[in-house]
Amino acid sequence: MGLLKRLLWGALLCLSVSQAWAAVAVVDDGPEAKALLVKALGRYHEEGDKAFAEFSRQGEFVKGDLYVYVLNTKGVMLASGGPSAVLIGRDVSGTLSPDLQKVFKDVLSTPEANGIQESEYRWQNWSDGKVERKRVYYQRVGDRVLAVGYYIPRASPEQAKALLDKASAALVKDEKGTINSINGLKGGFLEDDLYVFVVDLKDQRYVAHGTNLRLVKTDFSKVRDPEGQPVGEPILALINKQDEGEYDYHWRNPVTNKIENKHAYIRKVDHYLVAVGYYSR
């Protein structure tokens, strides 16, 4: 997909609710994104369309990865402080499929009196090229729609549990195929910062890992966190006493690339240990 087409989709999908995900427990940039939109709305009420020039340049309406963009109800990009600035003046609505065009029109028809709205979707993060979850805050003012969106770097406990259920069921149904899918980074076992790892309890070695294939065939019992604290040994001790459990430790988040708190859900499936964990600051 060409750069222009990706920009077109990205600008419009920031208003789409068709690919919504469940609400997350941890939101890093939500308050700042919403505050930036409130500030932009205030400036727009003061200056009208003259504010578009401020929204479209580096300044007080661009804060790190957060920026304001504006479309009209016909789908024309009117202002943007981000990558979609190249689309200013263009009608971008025609790039949507028929079903998404309907959703887009529904969003744009939201009454102004409803105040600030929000939605979630999945889209490519321009900074790292990964497809990640993104949330957008937006409000209609007359025939203008002002919006600020941000990427959500951390999944929720509910999403971690759902992925563990999915991996466990798949392993029972197709052991070899599931292990190959996890190691092949496909089959839906890698979702944002969530991934699956599997350990054979017979020899205590990894047979699958959703982000680090170098760990496959290594001894899980010897795994330690970045601070040198044991991880594998206590998890194995826990799963030897019960079929399911939870364990907290420090580990690198594959999305933020930072060492964070990780809460793992673990389960015994036949002679395998299956685990999925979510991160928090």
- Judged by phi (left if over 0) then psi (alpha if -120 to 50, else beta), residue 183 lies in alpha
| Phi, psi of 275, deg, nearest 5 | -140, 145
Provide the pLDDT for residue 192: 80
Domain 157-280 has CATH 3.30.450.20: yes
The CATH superfamily assigned to 3-151 is PAS domain (3.30.450.20)
Gap between the Cα atoms of 240 and 214, Å rounded: 25
Structural domain boundaries in the chain: 3-151, 157-280
The confidence score (pLDDT) of residue 102 equals 62
CA neighbor of 29 nearest in space, from 58, 59, 67, 71:
67
Q: Do domains 3-151 and 157-280 have the same CATH topology?
A: yes
192 Rama class: left (phi>0) / alpha (psi -120 to 50) / beta: left
What's the pLDDT at 131? 63
Exposure class string for 114-138: b at 16+ Cβ within 10 A, else e: eeebbbbbebbbeeeeeebbbbbbb
pLDDT digits (tens, 9 = 90+) for 128-149: 666 667 788 989 999 999 999 8
**pTM of the full predicted structure?**
0.61
Q: In terms of pLDDT, which residue wins out, 122 or 30?
A: 30
Cα 231 to Cα 225: distance, rounded to the nearest angstrom:
6
The CA distance from 98 to 93, in Å, is 10
- Span 211-262, pLDDT tens digits: 999 999 999 999 999 999 999 999 999 999 999 999 999 999 887 788 999 9
Q: What's the number of CA atoms in the CB half-sphere (13 Å) around residue 35?
A: 8
Mean pLDDT of the chain: 84
